[in-house]
Amino acid sequence: MRKEDLRIAAGLTTNMIANMGKGKNISMETLARICEALNCDILDVIELEQDEPKHD
């Protein structure tokens, strides 16, 4: 599926797609729309990244 196909299927704006490509935060509503369009679970489309521990 192309990004444009996903954008249309999920009812997203071009700005939403661009922000995702830039690694910016997106809303849970947007994630839910993507999951519905892809017929998948939210854990299939997100990955939790831990911050590196700070050393004093």
Tell me which residue has tokens 């700070």: 54
Q: Write the CB contacts of 15 (distance below 8 Å, at least 6 apart in sequence).
A: none
CA torsion 37→39→43→46, rounded to 10°?
-30
Domains of the chain: total: 1
Cα–Cα dist 38/10, whole Å: 8
Specify if 38 maps to a domain: yes
Query: Contact 16/4 with Cβ under 8 angstroms?
Result: no
pLDDT at 12 over 90: yes
**Percent share of the chain, pLDDT over 90:** 66
Residue 30 confidence (pLDDT):
94
Residue 13 confidence (pLDDT):
95
Which domain covers residue 19, as residue numbers? Answer: 3-44
Residue 15 confidence (pLDDT):
93
Give mean pLDDT, residues 26-50: 91
Residue 56 confidence (pLDDT):
66
Give mean pLDDT, residues 11-29: 92
Specify if 54 maps to a domain: no
Cα–Cα dist 52/34, whole Å: 29
